[in-house]
């Protein structure tokens, strides 16, 4: 089960998201601004998914 959600400091950094995570037992972690390397695994997965979608 996923217990931690790591996101950048973008649009999901809100009270509504924080409330939802607390109600459902998730912990939010934020990466530092302008440092996509901190979230490298997810960034690479997004690139892979987007490349596969373009190939369809």
pLDDT tens-digit profile of 9-52? 777 778 888 899 999 999 988 887 777 677 677 778 878 888 99
User: What's the rounded Cα separation, in Å, for the pair 39 and 19?
Assistant: 23
**8 three-state secondary structure:** coil
**10 three-state secondary structure:** coil
Residue located via tokens 């998914």? 49
Q: What is the pLDDT of residues 32-44, one digit of tens each?
A: 777 767 767 777 8
């Amino acid at each position: 089960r996923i217990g931690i959600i790591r996101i950048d400091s973008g649009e999901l950094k809100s009270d509504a998201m924080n409330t939802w995570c607390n109600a459902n037992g998730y912990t939010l972690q934020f990466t530092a601004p302008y440092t996509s390397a901190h979230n490298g695994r997810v960034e690479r997965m997004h690139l892979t998914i987007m490349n596969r979608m373009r190939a369809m």
